[in-house]
Amino acid sequence: MSPLPFYAMRILMISDVYFPRVNGVSTSIETFRKCLGQAGVEVTLMAPRYGREETEEPLDLIRLPASAIPLDPEDRLMSYRAALALAPQLAREQYDLIHIQTPFVAHYAGVALARKLGLPAVATYHTLFEEYLYHYISFLPREWLRGLARRFSRQQCNELSGVIVPSRAMAERLTEYGVQVEMEVLPTGIPLQRFAKGDRQAFRQRYGIAPERPVALFVGRVAHEKNIGFLLEAARLALEEQPELLLVITGEGPARPALERQAEQLGIAAQVLFLGYLDRERELPDTYAGADLFVFSSRTETQGLVLLEAMAAGLPVLGLAAMGTADILAPERGAVVGQDDVAGFARQMAALLGDPARMQALAAAAVPYAAEWSDQAMAHRLAAFYTQLTERHRTTGRLPLPAPSPLPRALNSP
């Protein structure tokens, strides 16, 4: 096998979220930063200051002043002015490209810095906002919010040199919006070895779960757009065939209180275990190993990274093939495409848990399939896309971006 290429580049990333805030964007950034470094790409990240970071952080992480966001204690609004004030310092670092990870202050600051520094800028489009906003701004008409999200996304994407999307479905959706810049379909890879070393017995002993009890697992942010209520309703029906079933929901988020009430109302509170946030490196691998079936019902995922994590751990998956998850689930290697109705999904859940031979076959297929989505492979593809954009920029010799749109007043944090 020929050796992988080595890239000598310097990239400035900027994001509105990063650890200690835990979500898919933070995970994606961390995964790519580590693997890009191994491929010869130096990455400096600009992110908000949360006030609970480690005492000593790496030199390639720039924390910007940030303010709390009302009604959203998990997130921060970082300072646009502080980001732009770093332009002279950043110019001395001689970066090749700016990679924007989120569409709030980071987008506007990233585009402005790209123009000041004469660099191309690319963004990763992580979130399908038209299917997201109405969960949080429910007092406005849903169709109006969808139209706003489409215009917002089209304008931002067309200000860039290129856009990275995690699935073909997302690329098709952005094309429908009127996005005209080049798009690269590039999912986040997964660190395979991390999820191959889970301890099933340790997980079950920790939470008092009998060795033979069937466990269905959800991992992810406990948010309204994840459609976790669908899983609760399906579990209630599946319990008729699998009376010992335990549904484990791992993660934190704003929907947890409502979901706990729903479990009580459905009469299955004793069959649902909410674990909250688990450490990704120490506790989460054991959680995957301790389950029998991974279940997922989000219809708005741009990728569905947790599906691949589960399969890397040898855990069969039952999930809805919608948006980004379709790319992963459609081949049905280590996974079963779930029916998009509660009764049908419940029947599939109960049938799989009652069929050890099929579950074993799915588990055997899951591991090699997940290996095709490794973090190293995806990082090299990202580095190649960076190279393509920077070479084009050098060849054309033009300013990489049109005039940026103004920073919305709501994001104008001091």
Q: Are residues 117 and 149 in the same domain?
A: yes
Look up the domain containing 89 and give its range. Answer: 9-189+374-405
Count the helix, strand and coil residues of the chain and give each as a percent rounded to the nearest 5. Answer: 45, 15, 40
Residue 141 CB neighbour total at 10 angstroms: 10
In a domain, 413, yes or no: no
Cα-based distances in Å from 168 to 164, 196, 220: 11, 28, 22
pLDDT at 194: 86
What is the pTM (predicted TM-score) of this model?
Answer: 0.75
Q: Which of 124, 126, 123, 122 is nearest to 302 (CA)?
A: 126
pLDDT digits (tens, 9 = 90+) for 84-113: 999 999 999 999 999 999 999 999 999 999
Q: How many H helices and E strands in the chain?
A: 16, 15
pLDDT digits (tens, 9 = 90+) for 157-216: 999 999 999 888 889 999 999 999 999 999 888 888 889 889 999 999 999 999 999 999
Contact 122, 43 (CB under 8 A): no
**Distance (Å, whole) CA 226 – CA 139:** 20
pLDDT digits (tens, 9 = 90+) for 343-352: 999 999 999 9
In a domain, 412, yes or no: no
pLDDT at 1: 42
Q: Residue 404 — very low, low, confident or very high, per pLDDT cuts 50/70/90?
A: low
Q: How many domains does the chain have?
A: 2
Which H, E and C letters describe 167-197, residue by residue?
CHHHHHHHHHHCCCCCEEECCCCECHHHHCC
Cα 78 to the center of its chain, rounded Å: 21
Q: Is 267 helix (H, G, I), strand (E, B) or coil?
A: coil
In a domain, 79, yes or no: yes
Is residue 27 over pLDDT 90?
Answer: no
Q: Are residues 396 and 321 in the same domain?
A: no
Is residue 39 over pLDDT 70?
Answer: yes
In a domain, 84, yes or no: yes
In a domain, 1, yes or no: no
pLDDT higher for 236 or 170? Answer: 236
What CATH number is attached to the domain comprising 201?
3.40.50.2000
Report the pLDDT averaged over residues 56-85.
92
In a domain, 341, yes or no: yes
Q: Are residues 312 and 358 in the same domain?
A: yes
Residue that is written with structure tokens 């910007």 in the block = 64
* Beta strand pairing call for 41-48 and 9-14: parallel
Q: Are residues 157 and 235 in the same domain?
A: no
Q: Are residues 253 and 137 in the same domain?
A: no
**Distance (Å, whole) CA 139 – CA 66:** 28
Mean pLDDT over each residue of the chain, to the nearest integer: 91
Q: Residue 403 — very low, low, confident or very high, per pLDDT cuts 50/70/90?
A: low
Range from 127-131, 147-151, 157-161 that averages highest in pLDDT: 157-161
Q: Are residues 50 and 157 in the same domain?
A: yes
* Interacting residues of 85 by C-beta distance below 8 A, sequence separation 6+: none
